[in-house]
Amino acid sequence: MYIIPRMHARVRLAIAGLVLVSIAAACRNPLGREYEYEEQLYLQVNGSATVVVDASIASLVALRGMALDTSFATRPDRAAIRKLIEAGGCPAVTVGQPWTRHGRRFIQIRIATKDVRTLSSCALLAWSTYRLDPDSGGREMLRYHQTVGAASGGNPGNPKWTGKELVGFKLHLPSKITDHNVKRLDTGENGAVERGNILTYEQRLTDRLAGAPIEMVVEMGSQSILYHTLFLFAGAFAAAVVALAIVVWLTVRHGRRQAEASGT
């Protein structure tokens, strides 16, 4: 008599799990894209930054000239990859667990720095120049400028690319974006800003291999979104406290007047 309820509970749990997985996948890549090589830059208003590279081993060889074994039969050696990247002058390197997709192995690499402008001295990211400057017009704005140059060609063997693979550069900026130059890859029209502070620049892998440059120019506020959020939260909390105090005062006052009235 309890079989059906148990089955229903398991079905509900399975559906909930699928929903959570779908939400997580959408949050990770809202555009629904699969990138053969992707750089995500998390920038702070003080200039510190973290770069997260999610890439196939084959693309790391072909685009960045890294001496890695692209064979699917060879599991990536995380420690060896970290040492190789550190030897290229990259600070605070972390290498994550590898995964597979379309018969190719992928790896995640994290690089942290106190000054985004120094990332060009890291061999893995040396194809880019980075700038973060105050707005020249005297406004309380910041201007971020990154140019991605030619790839450092290596021989990836036969990764079985179809020609439809994409490369992505995603900027997670600390404050609200006011202007940018990103264009949609499919239509050439202005790209959308995600959540007010995230932009994605895309390029076909074939174009990236051919050295077609990418220029990213973004203007943003000089104060972080977190600062504004905390400020608004503090303001709302203070207003709520004041409102509560007024209500308490009015209630006490009303009670006293009733007591005085009843006493007379």
The fraction of the chain above a pLDDT of 70, given in percent, is 72
Which ranges constitute the DSSP H helices of the chain? 3-28, 57-64, 78-87, 205-209, 225-263
3-state secondary structure of 238: helix
Report which DSSP code applies to 138.
S
Which amino acid appears at position 147 of this protein? T
3-state secondary structure of 188: coil
Question: pLDDT tens for residues 108-158?
Answer: 999 999 999 999 999 999 999 999 998 766 668 999 999 999 998 899 999
Contact status, residue 43 vs residue 144, Cβ threshold 8 Å: yes
CA dist 173 and 176 (Å) reads 8
Other CB atoms within 10 Å distance of the CB of residue 197 = 19
The Cβ-side half-sphere exposure at 180, using a 13 Å CA radius, reads 26
Who has greater pLDDT, 237 or 39?
Answer: 39
The model carries a pTM of 0.74
Per-residue pLDDT band for 24 (boundaries 50, 70, 90) equals: very low
Residue 221 tokens, joined = 């506020």
Q: Of 57, 35, 23, whose CA–CA distance to 200 is shortest?
A: 35
Question: pLDDT tens for residues 189-213?
Answer: 778 889 899 999 999 999 999 999 9
User: What is the pLDDT of the chain when averaged over all its residues?
Assistant: 82
Under 8 Å CB-to-CB from 42, ≥6 apart: which residues? 49, 50, 51, 52, 172
CA dist 59 and 51 (Å) reads 17
For the cut 50, the answer to whether the pLDDT of residue 175 exceeds it is: yes
Q: Return the pLDDT at 164.
A: 95
